[in-house]
Chains A and B, each alone.
Chain A
Amino acid sequence: MNPPTPACAAPAADQSARQASIDVLRAVAIGLMVVVHFAENLAGWYGGAGNAFAGVHRTWWLPTGFAAPTFAFLVGASYRLWLDLQRRRGRSEEAIAKGTVRRGLFLIGLGFAFNVLVWLPEDVFNWDILTLIGCGMLALELARRMPDAVVLFAAALVVAVAPTMRLLAGYPAYWAEGFFDYDFTLADVTLGWLVTGYFPIFPWLAFPLAGYALAAGRAANAGRPAGVGVGLVASATVLVLVWPSLPEAVTGAAAQPWTMFPASTAYVLGTLGAVVLAEAALHRWLDGPVPRGRGLVAWTAPLSRHSLSIYLAHHAVHVWPLWAVGMATAGDPTALWQLAMPIGWAIGLAAVFLVAAAAVCRWVDRRDVPTAESLMRWICD
């Protein structure tokens, strides 16, 4: 069995390059991620879709479907801020390239290790969000050498060809009972990375690329991309409305217009537009010359700073006990998976985890305790 993991932590930008809007948005994404994972893995609850095993093209509870796009988009935006800061500090292009590639490889390696340790060895190549972000960092290393218009063109191309790739690859054949199922062959593993995994390059790479390109001039409070967000949301709405009449090259033979697995074109455009709009609104509200929402920022910034650690920890605290108790009681580590408790209890535990995580992150900041982020910086910078 292969539980989905639709969100993860993004490598945070340098402390002095942080902007409150990005921290708040990332903290919101963390909240959504924790709730959906606890609800799915402990209670088998998929929100509005009703049926937990509705098949490959199931509709996901909408708010939870925004967490992964938000994380992926903020990876690109944070990278742009970090890159601008490094250049202002006079860091050489070679040093920036090395740091970026090391971070990308670190996240890919961490993603594989995470898959083995949390989802057990048979899911090592499920192509989760950590590997996507690692690949995204490597892609951003190339993207930063391109003009922004070309980066946006690349993002659009990645979205546009994804349905065709799914048709070519036979996407539904890789998804059994709503989960990615592959063989340990070069073809299956490569196809999982490109098209059929949980977070394949096509079309998910579009999020970090768009985040990077749309963050241009953001540090100088210029070039608000709110218009782009409105355009994307409008495009997604039109796609949803005319979905039945669209060719397979656009729909990828999907019956429903709004699906996260696979990430339909309408879903990608809609979530991207929503994230862009949310980010633009928060930027306008929080990043102005007059500090606003200090209380909100004080609690969300630590969560954002330690988003990678929270991503790793929240899986460990709710999935490992499932494996341990299942193994002890039924001899099968997945015996209690999605059956452990009612949805109310699962959401309550998610809330408890979030409060505890916020408190622990503030304590970690005060005590300067080593975290996954500090380990990444120690290795990569």
Chain B
Amino acid sequence: MIAPDRDHRPTQDPGVGREPATPPLGLPPGATCTRISLPTGEMLDLLAVPMAEQDPARPPEDESARGRIEETVRQWVSAEAAPPTAGVFVPLYGCHVAWTTHRAAVIGPPERLDQLAAAVVGFAGVEADLRAAERRAAALLDTLEDDVGGSLAFEEHRPDRRAELAARHREAVAVCRRLALLAPAVHAPPLHPPTLAGQLGERLRDRTRLVERHEFATHRAEFAERVAEACGQRALEAGIARRQTGLEWAIVVMLVVQTALLVVELLAQRATP
């Protein structure tokens, strides 16, 4: 069964559903944690910690407290880090952003938190979509050898096999389409004039190698689609040839029976019962 596909709208809020969650301990009052449902169905816990910008003029104690908070946030985010993407930590204009596949955090002045959060959620939606497409493309490659072997087994009459190949081709096309829809979000040029959210998005894309991953996944999916199409074509041709062969065999059977009738008639005239 092919998973229902979704269009990707970078301008749309990718967080489909939001609900409050409990922030970790040791954070200043005002820190909030929100559980966001991404378009792929994955959940992202987003922690927003309001904190003034770094200022060298402030007492060292304040800066030390800031460092502890950042460390706490980093550990909280890293606790959910999962391959293939390790945690990403981006300092940006006095703000800090941490992201893994299931947790993210923004630390910065209260007036910038919404922009940062929106940028992180937008990026997380694109990355989750890309990761899902990568998984589907990898799964397609895993079955390629069997598909090629099965499509060349002309002796076997396997209608179920043809259905499998057709499903695989549909899946390959669906993955290609998904990656094509993701392309504008992945390859989006930098905005001018630059904004904090725009720059954060660019840095997250760079650090997670989103462009290269998209390119590789597209290459894999297109390869799988080409092979699946060729396999399906071969299976289709084999099915058509089999039907034609069946007709030919039916004609041969009728000719043999007709010949037998003639032989019986001829022999009966010569027989001596």
Report A's interface with B, CB cutoff 8 A. Answer: 93, 145-150, 153-154, 157-158, 161, 164-165, 168-170, 173-174, 182-183, 185-188, 190-191, 194-195, 201-202
B263 adjacent to A194 (CB under 8 Å): yes
Name the B residues within 8 Å of A182 (CB-CB): 273
Name the A residues within 8 Å of B242 (CB-CB): 147
A188 to B270, CA, bound (A): 9
Given A150-B246, A153-B250, A168-B264; A187-B257 close (CB under 8 Å): no
Q: In this complex, which of B157, B243, B245, B260 has the most chain A Cβ atoms within 10 angstroms of its Cβ?
A: B260
Given A147-B157, A194-B264; A187-B272 close (CB under 8 Å): yes
B246 adjacent to A146 (CB under 8 Å): yes
Name the A residues within 8 Å of B254 (CB-CB): 157
A201, closest chain B residue (CB): B260
B111 at interface by CB-CB < 8 Å: no
Q: In this complex, which of A93, A154, A164 has the most chain B Cβ atoms within 10 angstroms of its Cβ?
A: A154
1/0 per residue B235-273: CB within 8 Å of A? 000000011011001100110010011011101101111
B250, closest chain A residue (CB): A150
CB distance from A268 to the nearest CB of B (A): 16
CB distance from B27 to the nearest CB of A (A): 58
A29 to B261, CA, bound (A): 32
Report B's interface with A, CB cutoff 8 A. Answer: 155, 157, 242-243, 245-246, 249-250, 253-254, 257, 260-261, 263-265, 267-268, 270-273
CB distance from B178 to the nearest CB of A (A): 35
Name the B residues within 8 Å of A150 (CB-CB): 246, 249-250, 253
A84 to B72, CA, bound (A): 64
Name the B residues within 8 Å of A147 (CB-CB): 157, 242-243, 245-246, 249
Name the B residues within 8 Å of A191 (CB-CB): 264, 267-268, 271
A182 to B273, CA, bound (A): 7
CB distance from B21 to the nearest CB of A (A): 48
B261 adjacent to A168 (CB under 8 Å): yes
Name the A residues within 8 Å of B264 (CB-CB): 165, 168-169, 191, 194-195
Q: In this complex, which of A145, A185, A187, A201 has the most chain B Cβ atoms within 10 angstroms of its Cβ?
A: A187
**Can you list 16 A-B contacts with CB-CB less than 8 angstroms, sorted by A residue number?**
A146-B245, A150-B246, A154-B253, A157-B254, A165-B264, A169-B268, A173-B273, A183-B272, A185-B271, A186-B267, A187-B271, A191-B271, A194-B260, A194-B264, A201-B260, A202-B260
A5 to B211, CA, bound (A): 81
A170 adjacent to B273 (CB under 8 Å): yes
CB distance from B248 to the nearest CB of A (A): 9
